[in-house]
Amino acid sequence: MPSRQRGMLMLEVLIAILIFSLGILGVVGLQATMIATSINAEDRTQAALLANELVSSMWTRGTTSLLAADIDSWKARVAGASPSSARLSASGDVSVDASNMATITITWKAPSKKTSEYANRYVTQVVLP
């Protein structure tokens, strides 16, 4: 009977190694997803901070209408002043409608997306009393 069991331990070890390897591959996949999500959260936070900077300027001045030089300076910071600017292609836009509501839009292309039409967008609207 012992001769029929020969090699069974080797088969059990190979199956255990296969199960362990699949588990490790799953952990590596989760880590890659976590890194991509973390980068996306960092980009969204940076966009929110940049929009908040312009909103603060509007609140300080008491009006949604800002000087063109201030808006141009802000747009330059949006395009290149972020810590992730090496990988982020961003642009900012400000529009004010007749009801004195300012809409601030920041658009950027995530580096992980290969197509040029995919863009992330952060939009905030401000109405001053």
pLDDT higher than threshold 50 for residue 28: yes
pTM of the model: 0.73
pLDDT higher than threshold 60 for residue 122: yes
Write 94-103 long-range contacts (CB < 8 A, 24+). Answer: 94/54, 94/66, 96/64, 96/65, 99/127, 100/63, 100/64, 100/127, 100/128, 101/64, 101/125, 101/126, 101/127, 102/55, 102/58, 102/64, 102/126, 102/127
Q: Which of the residue ranges 2-16, 35-49, 91-105, 111-125 would you say has the lowest mean pLDDT?
A: 111-125
pLDDT tens figures, 45-87: 999 999 999 999 999 988 888 888 999 999 988 887 545 544 5
pLDDT higher than threshold 90 for residue 7: no
Average pLDDT, the chain: 85
